[in-house]
Amino acid sequence: MQIQSHPLPSEKMMFQLNLRRRGISDQAVLKAMEDVPRELFVSPADHDYAYRDTALGIDCGQTISQPFVVAYMTEQLQVRPEHRVLEIGTGSGYQAAILSKLSREVVTIERFRTLADRARKVLARLGSANVEVVLGDGLDLPETLGTFDRIMVTAAMEEVPQALLNRLEPGGMLIAPVGPLQSSQMLKRFQRSGEDYPSQELVAVRFVPTLPGVAREL
């Protein structure tokens, strides 16, 4: 059976309608979700499921989050066109592509070379010139990366390291799934206020764990 290379118009309509029904209201986020072709970021075997509201497996034992979670996290991060954004956990590159439509610059960190290389190619194909994919350890960032207005962590952390919070600009926001790595976590949003980082609990989620170091294989 031949896999469809493009979604049916009805699938894209239901995709957008589902996001709106579930409470996504930021028009810039909805437009970004509409404009980025999700089918390019899933495995060929899953092309027919690209616009269903479900997480899908990708290489290296990782996942591409369900569309609602991508849209919700993006909306809650309150990204603006002047912002410099850091993403920890590139995965397929889909979230970075969404963020690239909303911000000035995106730096995305991936520990698996296979995923970093593939994401780089797909993002280049889309013309996402404001995204830099870095092979590295999201828990040990080079000082040369500097600071960010917004940080999104797309893998679970038992707690957010202070060193990562310190990468926020004054008034900057960080969003991350925080809690036990082998069960559900709480999506939390932190905002820098001077040297304080008050947080807000948003919604229960389940993500693959954040792991230290660069993967030796894959």
Active site (catalytic) residues: 65
The distance of Cα 199 from the centroid of its chain, to the nearest Å, equals 19
Q: Is the dihedral of CA 32, 35, 36, 38 positive or negative?
A: positive
Give the C-alpha separation, 57 to 183, whole Å.
18
Residue 20 CB neighbour total at 10 angstroms: 11
Closest CA to 126 of 90, 159, 93, 163: 93
Contact present, 43 and 57 (Cβ < 8 Å):
yes
Structure tokens at 120: 């780089």
Closest CA to 118 of 29, 168, 44, 18: 44
Give the C-alpha separation, 189 to 173, whole Å.
7
Main-chain dihedrals φ then ψ at residue 84, nearest 5 degrees: -100, 125
Give the C-alpha separation, 126 to 129, whole Å.
9
Structure tokens at 66: 């369900």
